[in-house]
Amino acid sequence: MSIREDLAHTPVVLTSSEEKIVQVLLADFPMSGLGTATRLARLAGVSDPTVTRLMIKLGYAGFADFQTRVLAEVEARLHSPLLMMEAKRPGGSEAASALDYFRSVSESLERTRTAVASQTYTRVVRMLIESKGDVVLLGGRFSRHIASMLAGYLIQFRSGVRDIGELAPPDFDLLIDLGKRDLLVVFDYRRYQSDIVRFARQAHDRGVSILLFTDAWLSPIAEFADQTMIASIEANSPFDTLATAVAQMEAVLAHALALHGGDMRRRMEDIEHIRRANAVTLDAVTPSPADRVGQAGAGEPADATPPGKRTKPA
């Protein structure tokens, strides 16, 4: 297992300060591990001794030992046959361009998988499910659609979910009702939106907890967010991919179901009952022809005239 995977999936219980260090390392690995311990501490917002204690806790002799192993792993990777094959892959045709895009997204998806420590998913689920007040969701021009997707799922898990949708000036009035019991979930990827940042900052000033989903370059909201989830959004396109952001959001939901599925089941069953009662989905809308014949046999005669072939009344 690589050092990056070790960091992302360590079984060691981390403090919040140690988790910040791991997050900084994962966000730009291996470069983040090749500077000084002081620089790493500054980026994570912790003290130098905290960095040293974390490295010893993870099984290294200290930060210097960790850095030596990172350098050794980088050198080995540079001589990897797999890396050489990747560098010499064929391309040029339109089909190759499309397939190359999928490859680039796949690589970003793998980076996203290892960009956040496993324990962080548990912490995020706890924030989403155990928040005593409302869970309010917000996103930018494109990322608001991911926020809406998450809201649609969360409604099946708990009450008090509110999706703001496209942020408009009147929505800032919502801040008056938000406080310490509430959670604001924000999706903000480069080129970060000023109105989203303003709303999140003002919510934070009112004591609202902030859960941020962003990229490796970090939205300004990361400076005051209680928890940050990082996704790799690079792709072979002028546009960043949000496929990784959607996958990360769905991974949070999968983790929530693994931890709390039994508790959520009753609410989900009740919602399904309401949907069936209102014929919300196709499986509950129209009885099959065989069902209609059976119903006719038990009561009113069936009308065998095909739809669209009705005769005019005499």
The confidence score (pLDDT) of residue 238 equals 80
Instruction: Label each residue of 56-118 as H, E or C.
Output: HHCCCCCHHHHHHHHHHHHHHHHCCHHHHHHHCCCCCCHHHHHHHHHHHHHHHHHHHHCCCCH
Q: Is the torsion defined by CA of 36, 38, 44, 49 positive or negative?
A: positive
Q: Which fold has domain 3-80?
A: Arc Repressor Mutant, subunit A (1.10.10)
Are residues 40 and 70 in contact, defined by beta-carbon separation less than 8 angstroms? no
The confidence score (pLDDT) of residue 281 equals 80
Has this prediction a pTM greater than 0.95?
no
The confidence score (pLDDT) of residue 190 equals 85
Cα(138)–Cα(167) distance, integer angstroms: 8
Cα(173)–Cα(156) distance, integer angstroms: 27
Domain boundaries along the sequence of the chain:
3-80, 118-266
Q: What is the per-residue burial (b if ≥16 Cβ within 10 Å, else e) of 159-195?
A: eebbbbeebeeeeeebbeebeeebbbbbbbbeebbee
The confidence score (pLDDT) of residue 96 equals 62
Q: Say how many Å lie between the first and final Cα of the chain, rounded.
A: 81
User: Could you please report the per-residue DSSP string of 121-188?
Assistant: HHHHHHHHHH-SS-EEEEE-TTTHHHHHHHHHHHHHH-S-EEE--S--GGGGGGGGG--TT-EEEEE-
pLDDT along the chain (314 residues), means of 10: 83 92 88 90 93 94 92 68 46 69 92 88 94 95 95 93 94 95 95 92 96 90 92 87 96 92 86 88 63 51 46 43
- What type of residue is 41? A
Instruction: Please give the CATH superfamily to which domain 118-266 belongs.
Output: Glucose-6-phosphate isomerase like protein; domain 1 (3.40.50.10490)
Q: Which residues sit opposite 162 in a β-bridge?
A: 136
Distances (CA, A) of 88 to 73, 80, 85, 275: 21, 13, 5, 53
Cα(220)–Cα(197) distance, integer angstroms: 7
